[in-house]
Amino acid sequence: MQRLYDFIRRHPTSVDSFWAVTLFGFSMLWAAQVPTGTWPLIAAIAVITLLCVVVALRRRAPEKMLALTIVLGIVQLVIDVEVNPADWAMLVITYTIAASDGPRWISRVALFCGLSAATLAQLRWPAEKDGTIVPAIFFAVVLTLPFALAWVLGDSMRTRRAYFAELEERAARLEKEREAQSKVAVAAERARIARELHDVVAHNVSVMVVQADGAAYVLDASPAQAKQALETISMTGRQALAEMRRLLGVLRTGEQRESGEYVPQPDVEQIEDLVEQVRSTGLTVDFKVEGTARPLPSGVELTAYRIVQEALTNARKHGGPDVGASVRLVYFDDGLGLLVEDDGRGAAHELYEDGGADGRGHGLIGMRERVGMVGGTLDAGPRSGGGFRISALLPLKPAH
């Protein structure tokens, strides 16, 4: 049965042609019963044939078939071809025009012609030959109802088709919007993961490299200092592994768990530990906190920690020998201020202005992205007197 339905949908003209041939057969049976000489037989057969053609081609050229039907109706009235089975084509074309997607005025023309057909037929061929008007009105009303119902049914099909088309368009649009949102979310998540990995790897690996170089330098002259450097490397490596496990845990489970394997995200309180770790690498850091400390949003705390971490890492990498740094945390009523400065030679201009080349300079880009996510401001660049300066203001409430 499904194959039959599929064939009907794929070959509408073939189906209409079948019904046209059937209608032509019934019309010929009707014509054979009409007494000879009642009306021109050849003209009647021509009208019947063309009405059947209207049925066969109604979906291929509905407007043209409507015009042909109107002409054939007028010809019937003129040459006195009475109502016959082929006139079902008028009902069919009325439904087709109402259901088609053509101009609305054509549908109204089809409705007007359909409603007029029964009245004109009663005037031309009255049901009662005695001239009584009541039966003529009755038959005119009865024969008009099928045309009205055909037009209403076709118009309902047209409205329903338009409604389903709108639903499909809306569903397709929502699907595209959902895909676009998914791509944006994936891109944002990738950027976040890239920032976290950069902060973890750049800082901890740079500390390990500095300590390893120092240990190799004093290995023979001062084994105790070499041992202390190796211990710092071990501690830094464990910290890096813990943070890497935290990131991987978030990727796998979508949540952060405090256990022996996963650690919580860094916060403002751990900045002091970070400074002590950097001091152990030989970098002199002056750390001060101003204002009254209070709980901060987790996003602000993580952003503050990562800014200090990246700034000290850059000072150690680009500041040159004998560089010193200072870190200031200032608690305001509506935000947290950060000021990290060093007195070294500073980073190359392209690293903080143009985003760097060959993969460098992403630390400052990540800082700006982090600060922008919490609605803060960041200023980074050379400071007067030499060195580099990073200043950030993080609001306690997210920006709207």
At 170 the pLDDT is 92
Instruction: Please state, in angstroms and rounded to a whole number, the distance separating the CA atoms of residues 311 and 313.
Output: 5
At 208 the pLDDT is 77
At 253 the pLDDT is 55
The string of DSSP codes covering 35-70 is: PTTSS-HHHHHHHHHHHHHHHHTTTTSHHHHHHHHH
φ, ψ dihedrals at 234, nearest 5°: -65, -45
pTM: 0.50
- Under a CB-based contact definition with an 8 Å cutoff, are residues 319 and 387 in contact? yes
At 39 the pLDDT is 57
At 260 the pLDDT is 42
At 392 the pLDDT is 92
The string of DSSP codes covering 301-350 is: HHHHHHHHHHHHHHHHHHS-TT-EEEEEEEE-SSEEEEEEEE-S----HH
Q: Structure tokens of 95?
A: 């439904």
Give the count of beta carbons closer than 10 Å to the beta carbon of residue 255.
8
In terms of Cα–Cα distance, which of 48, 144, 50 is closest to 91?
Answer: 144
Instruction: Please state, in angstroms and rounded to a whole number, the distance separating the CA atoms of residues 121 and 358.
Output: 89
At 328 the pLDDT is 93
CA dihedral (339, 361, 215, 204) positive or negative: positive
Q: For every one of its 400 residues, what pLDDT tens digit does the chain have, with 9 covering 90 and above?
A: 677 777 777 888 888 888 899 999 998 888 887 765 555 778 888 899 999 999 999 988 899 999 999 999 999 888 888 888 888 999 999 999 999 888 889 999 999 998 888 888 888 887 666 667 777 788 888 888 999 999 999 999 999 989 998 999 999 999 899 888 888 887 777 777 777 776 666 667 777 777 787 778 777 778 877 777 787 778 777 777 777 776 666 566 544 444 444 445 778 888 888 888 888 777 888 999 998 888 888 888 888 888 888 888 888 777 777 788 999 999 988 889 999 998 877 655 545 554 444 345 567 777 888 888 888 899 988 888 788 889 999 988 654 4
At 358 the pLDDT is 39
